[in-house]
Structure 1
């Protein structure tokens, strides 16, 4: 059984059809910010992307060169693998209906190549509600497939709550966890990390980043409980938080020196192929981190780069907002101005 409240389940379809701008919009930060003046002499660049799935795609996406260049300039890219990577789905009916996710290893490899993501600079989280959509066998297949592709993973319970990753001279800790699950608790236990208590996470790293699968779907503003968890993580030493699960872009917040991106939307469509346009807005969260002595591991600046996934027959086209045609661009810019101060 899943762990969603009934009110959440009942609101899923209405909010999918019309993503909500309701909720508390106070206290958030702009899409871009500078935390260090003057800037450090040397930095490393992290880029966080949203959920990746083949649900809305039968073939690899087309990607604007601007987005490729942006991702290619990052020292490390972190995203969420929303669909099990399997040869064939075991939950056949659910997969056809879109309630159960699945994508092939070939699709993932071709999609990464299409958007210019080098596998050796990519980390994917498996801590999400869909991790067991194709059962335990599908979960094991996913872990094996990502290993074959040379992609590092986070969010596996067996690996502990934090995975250390070397990014240039920095030791960065990535802690992925999910608050939601689509299957029984005993299936997730021992496989997928659901630990959100940073007090028990290891110290001694230059920067600790949380990658949570949290909040409610198709709502642009995070719930009070989500913001409270962000404050708790910041108070426990987490310097950077990049969230998933909402499937729409959500605002930024600065909590002391901690920067929070509550929701990055989808990087590749994970809901249904025919999705309303607000759910097609995604974001690439780019963070420059100081490597200078004295400020090592401190976030120097950040910026969210929004883009739109346009439907193009059996796949999607990833286009920056500046590259959109006038009509859709006006709607997207209006929605972004309602979310970001």
Structure 2
């Protein structure tokens, strides 16, 4: 069984049709900032994108060249793999209706090529509520396919709460976890990280890491402002040494906040549509969170600059077109 409260379930459709602006709007930061001025001479660039799914796409998306260039400028791209990867879904009816997610290997490969993300630069989180939409077999197939494609993953419980990656001269740690699940807890236990309390992460897991990043699947869907509990968890993560947080699950853009030296992007929306093909606004607006990290000896691992770049997903036949806000006349 899922772990959604009844009030959450009852509010899903109204909030999908009209995302909520309710909540505490105080204490947030500008969508762009330069904590280090002047910028360091040597930096590593990270690009965080939102949820990736094939629900709203039957073929690879079209992509504005400016978005391709932005993603191509990153040394590492981190996203959330919202759909199990398998060619023959087991939940046939649910997959057709869009309640159960699935995408083929071919779709993923063609979509990555279309948006200009090299597989060697990609890291995908599997810590989300849809990861068992096609059962344990779908989860196992996803792991096998991503390994075959040489795409790195974060979030499987077997690899521990913090994954370490070398990016240029830096050692970066990523802690991906989900607070939500669409299936029984027994499926997630031992397979996908649900440990959102940094006090329970082994201390040695972050030893020698220049910057510890969290990639949580948290908060309630279709709310533009994070709930008080989500903001409290962000403060707890920051208090335990997490310097960068990029969240998923809300399916709409949420604001950025600075907590001491830590930078938090609460929700990046969808990168490729996870809901119905004719999704209403503003669920079509997503964000690409660009973060430049210092690789200088005296500021190693510190965030030098960040910017949340909004974009919009438009319909183009059987797939989506990713466009800049300027490209659709929004400034």
- Is structure 2 residue 327 aligned with structure 1 residue 308? no
Asked if residue 216 in structure 1 is aligned to residue 220 in structure 2, the reply is yes
Cα separation, 2, equivalents of 1:194 and 1:320 = 34
Bigger shift: residues 38-47 or 66-75:
38-47
Distance 1:310 1:150 in 2: 30
Residue 198 (structure 2) aligns with: 198
- Report the Cα distance in structure 2 between the residues aligned to 1:271 and 1:29, rounded to whole angstroms: 29
Q: Which aligned pairs between 1:89-238 and structure 2 lie closer than 5 A?
A: 89-199=89-199, 200-201=201-202, 202-203=205-206, 204-238=208-242
Query: In the TM superposition, what is the alpha-carbon distance from 1:277 to its structure 2 partner?
Result: 1.7
Partner of 2:57: 57
Q: Please state whether the residue corresponding to 1:279 is helix, strand or coil.
A: coil
- Once the two structures are superposed, what CA deviation does each residue of 1:289-330 show, in whole Å capped at 9, x if it has no partner? 001111100001100000000011100000010110x4xx3x
Q: For each residue in 1:251-306, what CA deviation from the matched residue of structure 2 results, as whole angstroms up to 9, or x when unmatched?
A: 00000000000000000000111101200000000000001111100001100000
Length, aligned pairs only: 327
Superposed CA RMSD in Å reads 0.8
Range that drifts further, 27-36 or 194-203 = 194-203
Alpha-carbon distance between aligned partners in 2 of 1:92 and 1:271, rounded to the nearest angstrom: 17
Map Cα deviations across residues 84-120 of structure 1 (whole Å, 9 max, x no partner): 0011110111111211100000000000000010000
Aligned to 2:2: 2
Q: CA deviation at 1:182?
A: 0.4
CA offset at residue 223 of structure 1?
A: 0.2
- Structure 2 distance, partners of 1:148, 1:311, is 31
1:136-179 Cα shifts (integer Å, max 9, x gaps): 00100010011111100000000101110001000000110000
Distance 1:144 1:309 in 2: 30
Written as runs of structure 1 = structure 2, the 5 A alignment for 1:247-326 is: 247-324=251-328, 326=329
Equivalent residue, structure 1, for 2:14: 14
- 3-state secondary structure, aligned to 1:164: strand
> Where in structure 1 are there 5+ consecutive unaligned residues?
334-341
Inter-partner Cα distance in structure 1 for 2:96 and 2:54 = 12
Cα distance, 1:19 vs. partner? 0.8
Question: Could you give the per-residue CA deviations for residues 167-224 of structure 1, whole angstroms, max 9, x where no partner exists?
Answer: 1000000110000000000000011100112232422200000000000001100000
Unaligned runs of 5+ in 2: none
Partner Cα distance (2:290, 2:28) in 1: 17
Q: CA deviation at 1:64?
A: 0.3
* d(CA) in 2 for partners of 1:114, 1:37: 35
Separation in 1, partners of 2:279, 2:237: 33
Whole-angstrom CA distance in 2 between matches of 1:76 and 1:154: 13
Instruction: Give distance in 1, aligned partners of 2:309 and 2:102.
Output: 27
